[in-house]
């Protein structure tokens, strides 16, 4: 019999509560945070490369090394050479190779030959002699005028007595800080005389703007003459034999070279030479970038290798000396004591080198630089035209050397100055010298407003840039 009210239901699974996911606002919050992170990451990289200066980038990399992966190098012009504007000059410069320059008795052939002498071998360096310590720097005394006739002794015979090797002791080396090659190297040279200030002191005087890419040899020499009790001078047309003679007589010397460091394009660089050894056919340099050697002996710089890149700067050198050693220094330097005569000799060497290879852009540029020093601006401009037309000079060349700007200015080639200055400033905006020369060109074109703006910018980057201040005062 079926019981209608007591029907048994089949077994049923219990009903579970519905599983709840995370709140929707939390999910969207995660998505928003992820988008913000990605956006911020790429914005940070863009700011790092397009807003930060190179010095600021280096400081960031010091804190967060991975950022070096995202660092973009300076824009390198096509081919790694100076972008060349249309030149208004004729370009005919071969006659410059045979024109008379100066004293015919001091031939360029003699100078060129001095770099190819047979060097003696197996001559050990002499035993190091300690430098006296705690000797106070002498009181500042006036420098002689370069044009003084007494500053032109007969050519020296000092080279005949130069030993096969010599080392000067007492230099203090330090690793350069950012862009601080010049101040670090002049500090090293001054340390030989007991100078106690560090490279930051020199930096604050010479390049108060951290991003300043260049301190000229004249600025370094002026710093020595104004800040210390010793003296310094700058000349072009140096030789390997002269550097050896100066070192052998205890004079600190600095050379300016074009260098290709690992992972870097061509750059201008200073080195303090502290020793030489003919058995190793080279100098030993205290180099603010490369170091002071494994045991403080200096970094070996083979004679021919050094000269090959020294010529990029017309073989410019700086000598630092005690005022009471001036007569001795004059006797060693001979005709190079006089700045104009040094430029004549350097021009003669450039003539020889360009004659041996008429496509040698450095030789033509050196000829132009020397002629600029001599005030022969029309001839200098033609030499520069030739060097530029060869389209092989490294793109940073006009960061460091300004003879081309000076001679183009003096012959009224203002548009070309502006074009070349623009090329410099497109690669880096912190070149006060480019603003200065562009300002003078603007002034020549009657664009006074642009000239004043550029001079103010130059002084903002370097308040100690006195020629820009003088130009600005004269325009206002």
pLDDT for the residue numbered 230: 96
Q: Which residues contact 52 (CB under 8 A, 6 or more apart)?
A: 60
Q: Are 350 and 237 in contact (CB under 8 A)?
A: no
- Chain mean pLDDT for the chain: 81
Is 438 a domain residue? no
pLDDT for the residue numbered 128: 33
Quick one: pLDDT band at residue 394, thresholds 50, 70, 90?
very high
Rounded CA-CA distance 317/285 in Å is: 14
Answer yes or no: do 64 and 171 share one domain. Answer: no
Quick one: pLDDT band at residue 46, thresholds 50, 70, 90?
low
3-state secondary structure of 55: helix
Is 56 a domain residue? yes
Is residue 442's pLDDT more than 60?
yes
pLDDT for the residue numbered 178: 78
Rounded CA-CA distance 320/340 in Å is: 19
Q: Which residue has the higher pLDDT, 312 or 21?
A: 312
pLDDT for the residue numbered 473: 95
Q: Which residues contact 12 (CB under 8 A, 6 or more apart)?
A: none
Is 448 a domain residue? no
Q: What is the mean pLDDT of residues 126-144?
A: 33
Quick one: pLDDT band at residue 437, thresholds 50, 70, 90?
very high
3-state secondary structure of 231: strand
Answer yes or no: do 216 and 351 share one domain. Answer: yes
Quick one: pLDDT band at residue 28, thresholds 50, 70, 90?
confident
Domain boundary among 23, 51, 70: 70
Answer yes or no: do 169 and 318 share one domain. Answer: yes
Answer yes or no: do 54 and 179 share one domain. Answer: no
Answer yes or no: do 205 and 343 share one domain. Answer: yes
Q: Which residues of 342-355 are buried (b: 16+ CB within 10 A; e: fewer)?
A: bbbbbbbbbbbbbe
DSSP per-residue codes, 369-427: HHHHHTT-HHHHHHHHHHHHHTT-SBTTHHHH--HHHHHHHHTT-HHHHHHHHHHHHHH
Q: What is the mean pLDDT of residues 154-178?
A: 82
Domain boundary among 375, 400, 425: 400
Domain boundary among 26, 48, 70: 70
Q: Which residue has the higher pLDDT, 124 or 52?
A: 52
pLDDT for the residue numbered 30: 76
Is 75 a domain residue? no
Q: What is the mean pLDDT of residues 153-178?
A: 80
Is 77 a domain residue? no
Query: Which residue, among 81, 177, 43, 180, has the nearest Cα to 427 in the 3D structure?
Result: 81
Beta bridge partners of 302: 282
Q: What is the mean pLDDT of residues 394-403?
A: 95
Is 319 a domain residue? yes
pLDDT for the residue numbered 261: 79
Is 199 a domain residue? yes
Provide the number of structural domains found in the chain: 2
The CA-based angle 381-383-388, given to 5 degrees, is 90
pLDDT for the residue numbered 146: 35
pLDDT for the residue numbered 476: 85
Q: What is the mean pLDDT of residues 241-266?
A: 91
Q: Are 224 and 232 in contact (CB under 8 A)?
A: yes
Residue 261, both tokens:
């460091």
Helix axes 326-333, 240-248, angle to 10 degrees: 150
Q: What is the mean pLDDT of residues 364-376?
A: 97
Q: Which residue has the higher pLDDT, 386 or 161?
A: 386
Is 110 a domain residue? no
Answer yes or no: do 181 and 42 share one domain. Answer: no
Is residue 132's pLDDT more than 50?
no
Quick one: pLDDT band at residue 42, thresholds 50, 70, 90?
low
Checking DSSP bridges between strand 231-235 and strand 317-321, what pairing results, if any? antiparallel
Answer yes or no: do 174 and 319 share one domain. Answer: yes
pLDDT per position as a tens digit, 210-222: 777 889 999 999 9
pLDDT for the residue numbered 40: 73
pLDDT per position as a tens digit, 68-113: 445 555 556 666 788 766 666 655 789 999 999 874 433 333 333 3
Q: Domain range spanning residue 45?
A: 36-70
We report the CATH number of the domain holding residue 216 as 3.90.70.10
Q: Which residue has the higher pLDDT, 228 or 11?
A: 228
pLDDT for the residue numbered 326: 96
């Amino acid at each position: 019999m079926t019981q209608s009210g007591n029907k048994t239901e089949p077994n049923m699974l219990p009903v579970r509560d519905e599983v709840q996911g995370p709140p929707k606002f939390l999910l969207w919050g995660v998505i928003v945070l992820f988008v913000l992170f990605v956006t911020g990451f790429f914005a940070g990289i863009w700011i790092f490369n397009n807003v930060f200066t190179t010095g600021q980038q280096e400081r960031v990399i010091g804190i967060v090394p991975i950022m070096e992966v995202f660092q973009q190098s300076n824009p390198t012009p096509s081919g790694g050479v100076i972008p060349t504007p249309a030149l208004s000059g004729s370009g005919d410069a071969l006659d410059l190779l045979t024109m008379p320059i100066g004293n015919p008795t001091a031939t360029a052939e003699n100078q060129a030959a001095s770099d190819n002498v047979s060097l003696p071998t197996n001559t050990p360096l002499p035993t190091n002699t300690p430098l006296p310590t705690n000797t106070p720097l002498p009181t500042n005394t006036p420098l002689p005028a370069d044009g003084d006739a007494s500053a032109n002794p007969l050519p020296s015979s000092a080279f005949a007595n130069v030993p096969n090797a010599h080392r000067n002791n007492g230099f203090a080396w330090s690793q350069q800080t950012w862009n601080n090659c010049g101040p670090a190297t002049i500090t090293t040279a001054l340390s030989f005389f007991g100078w106690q200030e560090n490279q930051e002191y020199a930096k604050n005087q010479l390049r108060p703007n951290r991003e300043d890419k260049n301190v000229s040899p004249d600025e370094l020499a002026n710093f020595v003459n104004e800040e210390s009790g010793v003296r310094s001078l700058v000349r072009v047309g140096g030789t390997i034999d002269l550097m050896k003679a100066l070192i052998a007589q205890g004079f600190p010397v600095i050379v300016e070279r074009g260098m290709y460091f690992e992972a870097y394009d061509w750059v201008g660089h200073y080195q303090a030479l502290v020793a030489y050894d003919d058995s190793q056919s080279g100098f030993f340099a205290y180099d603010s970038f490369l170091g002071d050697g494994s045991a403080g002996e200096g970094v070996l710089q083979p004679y021919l290798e050094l000269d090959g890149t020294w010529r990029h700067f017309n073989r410019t050198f700086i000598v630092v000396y005690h005022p009471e050693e001036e007569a001795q220094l004059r006797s060693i330097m001979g005709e190079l004591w006089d700045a104009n005569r040094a430029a004549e000799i350097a021009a003669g060497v450039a003539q020889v080198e360009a004659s041996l290879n008429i496509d040698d852009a450095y030789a033509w540029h050196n000829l132009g630089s020397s002629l600029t020093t001599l005030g022969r601006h029309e001839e200098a401009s033609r030499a520069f035209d030739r060097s530029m037309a060869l389209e092989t000079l490294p793109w940073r060349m006009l960061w460091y050397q300004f003879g081309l700007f000076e001679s183009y200015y003096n012959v009224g080639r203002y548009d070309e100055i502006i074009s070349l200055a623009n090329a410099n400033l497109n690669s880096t905006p912190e070149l006060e010298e480019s603003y200065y020369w562009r300002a003078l060109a603007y002034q020549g074109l009657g664009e006074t407003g642009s000239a004043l703006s550029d001079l103010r910018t130059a002084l903002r980057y370097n308040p100690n840039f006195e020629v820009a201040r003088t130009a600005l005062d004269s325009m206002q």
